[in-house]
Structure 1
């Protein structure tokens, strides 16, 4: 009988290649592959499984909801979606309205459409986004992503998007005029290699948008729901966006995205302007509520400090530095060998992600224990040595 890897290759489009590990089950921060080998999961489904794998509260919430009513469409309302929207706006602490989608790229598509509508209403003709930013793979979200290798082959795009260097407030100020409808930024650039902004950059972006009348979108697909040690990364930077997009960690493993509009941006859509058959699905909303009930920010900050401290204490010629926030870090390498580090980590029983040639993304579940963090940081020097050979 052919292996699962061979079967995958025969029936799937080749856009992913063949993943190197076939996972069968998980528990907390541990996973097992189809051959029974155990790993510590330090990528968490790309910062998705906030509560780890098979968390009892998530299992209970999803099981109860799917046995009650699993789907209604947007033609009918249900209580879990209302409860979730109320919880999110409560955590945000500002008047806001919510649209639920199924993923991060769809949340950004909703934000994109809000910006288009705002631009037409106010006579504004272009968008601004950051170089090396990533906002999704659909055409609208892709047009905002400043990564030429994934973007250029699918153009031309429907809106004029102008890219500026991330973290350069002067370049942003020059690019944003009264003709700019919106600025799309990540509070930390995820796919660029977990790159945080310079101090004051996001506050400056808020001031620039206020001065010109442009909307400011904070793409928190990866950075929200406790990942950086705050419910939302922008809260630590002391500003409120006009539009916030969420996904990944919100559902704890179930597909859900959210586009949140503050103030006027929350009422730009009119009846019929946008929709989603599965967005706000009762099961996904129940999962998200379980996540919000069980994320412990105190624990996140404690183990995040332990993880960062352990990595920063490593003296190895291949390790150039550590950057990021909370349980969302990158080990920055002196050589472009992140693929080798990922493979060496896998061989040692740890799953990490070669997010850039010189950066390894480390994003364990938010329930990772101090002992599991210590096991990883103790093993990492040997992993680096193996990757250096």
Structure 2
């Protein structure tokens, strides 16, 4: 079949910072996607943990369509009803008392990192400006967020980068103790490191971070861009750990596929962002907020959250059964429906081989670094699609193992 738009066009017209798959999706429904040639894929990638309710969920389509017939954009010289309704929902269902809206997780984190320095400057002076983050962390692709992120490869070629940032070993209380001081304005942590390998934090590490921040008058920031909005089995992962941050960032699943981000915080901390100190032209866009509000209404229910936990166990059991046959994983780890298979030494560095093999068997999967195959499907993926996807993944594993042998 010939197409007027092909994958080859990407190489002709797009900046080469991505290397997308060779097929082009054109239609999605639930956890199934069809390409230009009509091939059907099972989606275990979820747009990188974005499509929290799958593709084209009827309630989200209806919310977007309804809002599109009313009001698209008004700028932040005005407010709008969908933004206020979404902020009210978030403050009523989390620790937060104030919300700032953006378009993405990177922008939400950028706002958070600016806010912690502004708060420290307002209350303690300019010397209290250091941010402590974790090695292998990921917080976005702006210059500030890649600097706070603990992966040097993302700052190569972009120097000089913002200073005043220290990185510690994830899940190491001793490393954190050694780095934090009275110059620290904030500690930034992902409850589960996503891009860093789908590695959950220990409860002890997060509790220590909270206690050390309190002892040093520093703010605790949880980056829940990937773990938030039901993916952990709770509305936000901090609820799983019973450790409450001062600032939380959210995006990805929040919009169910529509671009939106949010920074949640307390009234006391929010005061440091007075009029004119920070902004976002599209932040709080009525279309995005209408969709996000509907996502939250659907996800934040006992049925869906309990379903995440049950589906997570089904995934883990299925992956472990595959691993019992082929021995490709050291472990399957993660939280809720953010899962990773850590490759054994025999397959070290070959996560992408498994992802590409999955693609050949019409399964969409992800990687988290070179040693972890990552899965972040819809939170409401049917059990039948989990089973079919795992069947296809087993075929992909068999292919890689066979090629290796």
Q: TM-score, normalised by structure 2?
A: 0.93
Task: Find the counterpart in structure 2 of residue 297 from structure 1.
Answer: 305
CA distance in 2, matches of 1:297, 1:377: 22
Task: Find the counterpart in structure 2 of residue 78 from structure 1.
Answer: 80
Q: Is contact 2:232–2:240 with CA below 8 Å preserved after alignment?
A: no
Where does 1:1-389 land on structure 2 (aligned, <5 Å)? 4-92=6-94, 94-121=95-122, 122-123=124-125, 124-295=128-299, 296-314=304-322, 315=324, 316-334=326-344, 335=347, 336-388=349-401, 389=403
Q: 1:95 to 1:357 in 2, by over 3 A?
A: closer
| CA deviation string 1:159-216 (max 9, x = no partner) | 3101001110111011111111111110110001111112311111101101111111
Which ranges in structure 1 are unaligned for 5 or more consecutive residues?
A: none
Q: Is contact 2:101–2:283 with CA below 8 Å preserved after alignment?
A: yes
Q: Is contact 1:241–1:262 with CA below 8 Å preserved after alignment?
A: no
Q: Is contact 2:362–2:392 with CA below 8 Å preserved after alignment?
A: no
**1:259 alignment partner, SS class:** strand
CA distance in 2, matches of 1:332, 1:203: 26
Q: Is contact 1:337–1:387 with CA below 8 Å preserved after alignment?
A: no
CA-based RMSD of the aligned residues comes to: 1.3
Q: Is contact 2:116–2:219 with CA below 8 Å preserved after alignment?
A: yes
CA distance in 1, matches of 2:135, 2:58: 41
**1:154 alignment partner, SS class:** coil
- Equivalenced residue count is 388
Q: Is contact 1:225–1:249 with CA below 8 Å preserved after alignment?
A: yes
How far 1:294 moved relative to its partner?
1.4
CA distance in 2, matches of 1:344, 1:4: 21
How far 1:95 moved relative to its partner?
4.6
Q: TM-score, normalised by structure 1?
A: 0.97
Moved over 6 A (4+): none
Which ranges in structure 2 are unaligned for 5 or more consecutive residues?
A: none
